[in-house]
Amino acid sequence: MFEVFYKTLKGKRLIVYSGLFKEAMTKFKNGELDDYKEKDKTKYVYAIMYNWGGEKYLKMEKRYLTNDELGEINGQLLDEKDVE
């Protein structure tokens, strides 16, 4: 069993970022390429809270977002994912 495992992995290399790709990944992680990412154009105005009530959702609270919340939520980047 180990012999099959060894022969399968022998000579295999891990894919790593090098050259221009390494520089691009560094810029991506530092946020220098954020201008090229798509931004969410939806304008959020309300904060709404629902709770599950056994058979359906019940609206518990509906309020306007504060100015701080508006600035934080609106205009975020779409599909932002962590890259390691």
Condensed to tens digits (0 to 9), the pLDDT of residues 40-66 reads 888 889 999 999 988 999 999 999 999
Mean pLDDT of the chain: 81
Q: Report which secondary-structure segment, H or E, holds 49.
A: strand 46-52
Q: Which of 76, 69, 77 is nearest to 45 (CA)?
A: 69
Is 17 in contact with 53 (CB distance < 8 Å)?
no
User: Six-digit token pair at 36?
Assistant: 């090229």
Rounded to an integer, the average pLDDT of 69-77 is 83
Q: Are 26 and 12 in contact (CB under 8 A)?
A: no
